[in-house]
Chains A and B, each alone.
Chain A
Amino acid sequence: MICKQDILGCVFLLSICVVFSLGINALSPNGIALRGQWNPDKGVVMAGANKAHGVDVMQIINPLKVKQLLESGRVIVLDVRWPEIYDQGHMQEMGFDVATQGADQ
């Protein structure tokens, strides 16, 4: 039979788990955000990095915005897709094509 002590023990263990896990996640370089991006309509689904260690990730889903950034000369786009997929279609202002040129350089 499950007694009151067992239930209290479970609550105690769960509390330890929550405190430890959130603490270690906050301090770890591999830590993730408490809320991820899991809506496919809003772009790539991902857990998202922990704010304390995360690198700023800019997610652009508007092609016009990409064009503007390329024309401004502030960014370089690396196309890391396989050559077969690259040949099917790619941007003309591409700064650097890793699939065909990157291996040599």
Chain B
Amino acid sequence: MSNLFRFNNRAYLSSMDSGRRTGMIEWGLRLFLGSPFIVASWHKIVSPDQFATILYGYALFPPQLINVIAIVMPFLELVCGITLITGLLKRSGLLLINATLVGFIFLISFNLIRGHEFDCGCFSLGNTKGLWSSVWLLVRDFVMLGAGVYLFMLFEGPRKKREDSRS
């Protein structure tokens, strides 16, 4: 009976709607951030030598670490993308995605400022050179980082509720 009353209650219905909407936004953002990371990792896993050459082209990494980064980085992207989409350790996966995005933004900005032309190597190997391409990359990474930060804030909601219900 009390449940029936709650379903007739407009405030309860609107809160249910907003909860569903938040869930949809969360799902959308998880796909928006997770799927590019999975797609972007594939060609790097298949051709680590070419990815290493691209990293060398950034002229920022120590030569001793270029190969190790070229080997590990694509798997980091793949695992983070999978965690975000499947929901397993999604908060940690999202933290790592946000950290890598901050890293990308730093790398691109630094090379833009010093006027160094480079190939991004994000989704393909060898066809993203030039100033405007770099500016576009920077904008894209800022948008993704904004989405990542917002998604982390959305993840905070259920955690707070759990903590409130415990106390």
**Chain A residues packing against B (C-beta within 8 Å):** 1-2, 5-10, 12-14, 16-18, 20-22, 24-25, 30-36, 38-39, 45-49
One of B47, B72, B93 near A30 (C-beta < 8 A): B47
Q: What are the residues of chain B within 8 A of A45 when measuring CB–CB?
A: 53, 56
B95, A20: Cβ atoms closer than 8 Å: no
A13, B63: Cβ atoms closer than 8 Å: no
A47, B70: Cβ atoms closer than 8 Å: yes
One of B52, B75, B91 near A36 (C-beta < 8 A): B52
Chain B, residues 66-78, CB within 8 Å of chain A (1/0): the string is 1110111011100
How many contacts A-B (CB < 8 Å)?
A: 87
**Which B45-86 residues sit within 8 Å CB-CB of chain A?**
45-49, 52-53, 56, 63-64, 66-68, 70-72, 74-76, 79-80, 83
B66, A12: Cβ atoms closer than 8 Å: no
Interface bracket on B: 20 to 34
Q: Across chains A and B, which 4 residue pairs bring their CB atoms closest together, nearest first?
A: A9-B92, A38-B63, A47-B52, A21-B75
Report the minimal beta-carbon distance from A25 to chain B, rounded to whole angstroms. Answer: 5
Q: What are the residues of chain B within 8 A of A18 when measuring CB–CB?
A: 72
Q: 29 A-B Cβ contacts within 8 A? A: A6-B92, A9-B89, A9-B95, A12-B89, A12-B92, A13-B79, A13-B80, A13-B89, A13-B92, A17-B72, A20-B79, A21-B72, A21-B75, A25-B48, A30-B46, A30-B48, A31-B48, A32-B48, A32-B49, A32-B67, A35-B64, A35-B67, A36-B63, A38-B63, A46-B53, A47-B49, A47-B53, A47-B66, A48-B67
**Residue among A16, A32, A33 with the most chain B CB within 10 A?**
A32
Once bound together, how far apart are the Cα atoms of A46 and B71, in whole Å?
A: 14
